[in-house]
């Protein structure tokens, strides 16, 4: 506020009762901000801003990301910074950005394996992509060959019977 300031160990003449009030200069204030990093929703730090030197507590995740499970917080989006778990504490000395880290939920990611089902030549495709449940999968263009048979396409059963023309039954390859 206003008025005269008295330094520690300074001397001053007194002529009445005096109340000396402590004077403060506040430390800098810093924020902790949470980012979904691909997810959606919100995680808010209601305690932010913090004064420099105060202790911040990492919040519980409030974000969601279909196909993924939350794996913690990191100071860098790519996970190359410092990891933090919910409930962890740290002394705040600067603004902090925490990015949700995600791992694939194995119950929602699938692969496609092609089986030539007795093929004798040509090419059976390979596909190393992991597909999120509900994603569209484009069947690979490679075609296997089987002596004495005509390739009709792929099936999810090994012995699918496909009729190509009246009275002619042909075997499709497995998907």
Asked if 132 contacts 65 with a C-beta cutoff of 8 angstroms, the reply is: no
Model confidence over 32-87: pLDDT tens digits? 999 999 999 999 999 999 999 999 999 999 999 999 999 999 999 999 999 999 99
Which range is least confidently modeled, 126-130, 140-144, 170-174?
Answer: 170-174
Length of the chain: 175
Our CA angle for 47, 51, 57, nearest 5°, is 40
Whether residue 1 is predicted with pLDDT greater than 70 in this model: the reply is no
**DSSP symbol at 115:** B
**Cα 152 to Cα 129: distance, rounded to the nearest angstrom:** 24
**Cα 57 to Cα 92: distance, rounded to the nearest angstrom:** 10
Model confidence over 83-134: pLDDT tens digits? 999 999 999 999 999 999 999 999 999 988 888 888 999 999 999 999 999 9
Supply the pLDDT for residue 170.
Answer: 40
Q: Which tokens sit at 128?
A: 């190393």
Q: Given pLDDT bands bounded at 50, 70 and 90, which one contains residue 161?
A: low
List the helix and strand counts (H, then E) for the chain.
0, 18
**Cα 85 to Cα 74: distance, rounded to the nearest angstrom:** 9
Q: Once rounded to an integer, what is the mean pLDDT over residues 7-15?
A: 89
Asked if 37 contacts 72 with a C-beta cutoff of 8 angstroms, the reply is: no
Strands 96-104 and 32-35, by their bridges, are parallel
**DSSP symbol at 94:** S
Cis check: omega of the bond before 49, within 30 degrees of 0: yes
Which pTM does this prediction carry?
0.69
Which of the two residues, 166 and 87, has the higher pLDDT score? 87
Whether residue 168 is predicted with pLDDT greater than 70 in this model: the reply is no
């Amino acid at each position: 506020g206003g008025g005269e300031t008295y330094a520690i160990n300074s001397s001053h003449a007194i002529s009445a009762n005096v109340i000396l009030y402590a004077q403060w200069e506040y430390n800098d204030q810093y924020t902790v901000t949470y980012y979904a990093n691909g997810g959606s929703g919100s995680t808010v730090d209601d305690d932010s801003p913090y004064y420099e030197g105060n202790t911040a507590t990492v919040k519980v995740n409030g974000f969601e990301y279909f196909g993924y499970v939350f794996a913690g917080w990191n100071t860098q989006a790519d996970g190359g910074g410092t990891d933090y778990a919910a409930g962890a504490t740290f002394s705040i000395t600067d603004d902090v950005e925490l990015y949700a880290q995600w791992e694939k939920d194995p119950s929602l990611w699938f692969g496609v394996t092609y089986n030539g089902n007795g093929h004798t030549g040509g090419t059976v495709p390979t596909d190393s992509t992991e597909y999120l449940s509900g994603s569209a999968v484009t069947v690979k263009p490679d075609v296997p060959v089987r002596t004495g048979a005509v390739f009709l396409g792929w099936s999810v059963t090994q012995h699918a019977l496909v009729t190509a023309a009246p009275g002619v039954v042909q075997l499709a390859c497995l998907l």
